[in-house]
């Protein structure tokens, strides 16, 4: 163990993954795990919320999302089922112009397919008249296929990527309450394929990478989460090597024992402690530039996220209120691994979210 390993709680160390997230008595399995779950049917959980048991499906949020980092831009592709409705969401950030494009189409929950797991060719997909997204998941073989398209009056996009796993997965089941989980699996991949936006073709190269996020949970009625990530290559000991991280703060009942903060290297990982986020100005007041500061208590994370573009998605309705901002820009600062090695990330791509829910 390295000199900074003492700041990582023992429960953050991965253990063997059981077959199911749901025990025979209806209780949830919590912790950090070493591979995919075969059974993630958490609708079967006993009273994960205060609502009647028959409302579990309506209270459950499910999605599979991917961030693909290309030379000239970043794609976010999401297939989502919020119980009340489904969604096909694509966001593209052009690094050259700082312009953010968004395609966002709702559909009925019953017309949205979320894969039951991430193995054996399981499929997540949704199709509307203007947009489509499809995942074919073979994480047991280290593979994922992603393709889709979307059009609007302003722009159109289509893409097709083959993703190959680069490192160990991050698989967590985080308690938001006594039997109320937030499950997330995040994986770091190389990306091969193409994206076409408004007729401009972008082909992947040796630096093209992606992170897939499979996400299932019962959010509290009032919830907020902060997130920032990067992926690509950076200089390590004089060589350009694959590198990525994930930093999130959410409603975990124990931030030290249950979080998803991690550094990915090629074939290896290093865990990170809980972090906090500060923003100047607040995201709702964004006017073209903002600074997010992300730090921990042990000098393992000391980052500035310089935000150049934001896509706001605001929904205030009778049954749900969502203030959701996706941010893009560049990083400054560093993270340390558990051995104390410092990785300077100045100039690397940054992507983040600032999301508040009231349901």
∠328-329-335 over CA atoms, to 5°?
110
DSSP letter at 2?
-
Give 22-59 pLDDT, tens digit per residue.
999 999 999 999 999 999 999 999 999 999 999 999 99
If one counts every other C-beta atom within 10 angstroms of the C-beta of residue 334, the result is 16
Give 186-221 pLDDT, tens digit per residue.
999 999 999 999 999 999 999 999 999 999 999 998
* pLDDT for position 316: 83
Q: How far is CA 229 from the centre of its chain?
A: 8
Relative to beta strand 31-33, strand 170-177 is antiparallel
Fold of the domain built from segment(s) 5-358: AttH-like fold (2.40.370)
* pLDDT for position 252: 98
pLDDT band at 102 (very low <50, low <70, confident <90, very high): very high
Give 303-356 pLDDT, tens digit per residue.
999 999 999 999 887 677 889 999 999 999 999 999 999 999 999 999 999 999
Distances (CA, A) of 296 to 166, 305, 342: 26, 15, 14
List all residues 6 or more positions away from 246 whose beta carbon is below 8 Å from its beta carbon: 170, 186, 211, 227, 229, 260, 261, 262, 264
Q: Where are the beta strands (DSSP E) in 155-260?
A: 156-165, 170-177, 180-197, 200-203, 209-217, 222-236, 239-249
Name the pTM for this structure. Answer: 0.97
Backbone angles phi, psi at 252, to 5 degrees: -50, 135
Share of the chain above pLDDT 90, in %: 94
Helices (H), the chain: 56-59
Contacts 24+ apart (CB under 8 A), 18-26: 21/173, 21/181, 21/183, 26/179
Q: What is the rounded end-to-end Cα distance, in angstroms, of the chain?
A: 43
Q: How does DSSP assign 17-54, residue by residue?
A: PPSBSB-TTSPBP-EEESS--SB--GGGSS-SSSS-GG
* pLDDT for position 1: 77
Span 177-190, average pLDDT: 98
* Structure tokens, 312: 């706001």
| Res. 254: pLDDT tops 80 | yes
Give 112-136 pLDDT, tens digit per residue.
999 999 999 999 999 999 999 999 9
Share of the chain above pLDDT 70, in %: 99
């Amino acid at each position: 163990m390295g000199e900074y390993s003492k700041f990582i709680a023992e429960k953050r160390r991965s253990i063997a993954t059981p077959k199911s997230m749901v025990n025979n008595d209806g209780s949830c399995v919590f912790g950090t795990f070493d591979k995919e779950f075969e059974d993630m049917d958490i609708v079967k959980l006993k009273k994960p919320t205060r609502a009647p048991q028959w409302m579990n499906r309506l209270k459950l949020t499910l999605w599979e999302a991917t961030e693909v980092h290309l030379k000239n831009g970043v794609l976010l592709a999401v297939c989502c089922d919020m119980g009340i409705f489904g969604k096909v969401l694509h966001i593209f950030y052009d690094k050259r112009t700082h312009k953010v494009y968004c395609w966002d189409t709702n559909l009925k929950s019953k017309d949205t397919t979320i894969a039951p797991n991430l193995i054996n060719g399981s499929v997540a997909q949704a199709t509307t008249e203007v947009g489509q997204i499809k995942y074919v998941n073979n994480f047991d073989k280290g593979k994922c296929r992603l393709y889709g398209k979307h059009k609007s009056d302003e722009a159109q996009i289509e893409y097709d990527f083959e993703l190959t796993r680069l490192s160990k997965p991050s698989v967590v089941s985080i308690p938001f309450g006594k039997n109320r989980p937030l499950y997330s699996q995040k994986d770091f991949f190389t990306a091969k394929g193409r994206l076409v936006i408004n007729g401009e073709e972008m082909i992947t190269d040796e630096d093209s990478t992606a992170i897939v996020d499979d996400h299932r949970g019962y959010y509290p009625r009032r919830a907020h989460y902060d997130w920032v990530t990067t992926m690509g290559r950076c200089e390590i000991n004089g060589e350009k090597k694959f590198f990525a991280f994930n930093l999130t703060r959410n409603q975990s009942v124990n931030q030290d024992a249950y979080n998803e903060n991690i550094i990915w290297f090629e074939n290896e990982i290093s865990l990170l402690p809980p972090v906090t986020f500060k923003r100047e100005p607040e995201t709702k007041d964004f006017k073209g530039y903002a600074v997010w500061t992300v730090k921990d208590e042990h000098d393992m994370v000391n980052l500035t996220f310089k935000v150049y573009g934001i896509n706001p998605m605001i929904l205030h309705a009778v049954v749900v209120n969502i203030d959701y901002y996706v941010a893009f820009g560049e990083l400054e600062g560093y993270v340390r691994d558990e051995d104390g090695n410092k990785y300077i990330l100045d100039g690397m791509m940054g992507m983040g979210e600032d999301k508040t829910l009231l349901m």
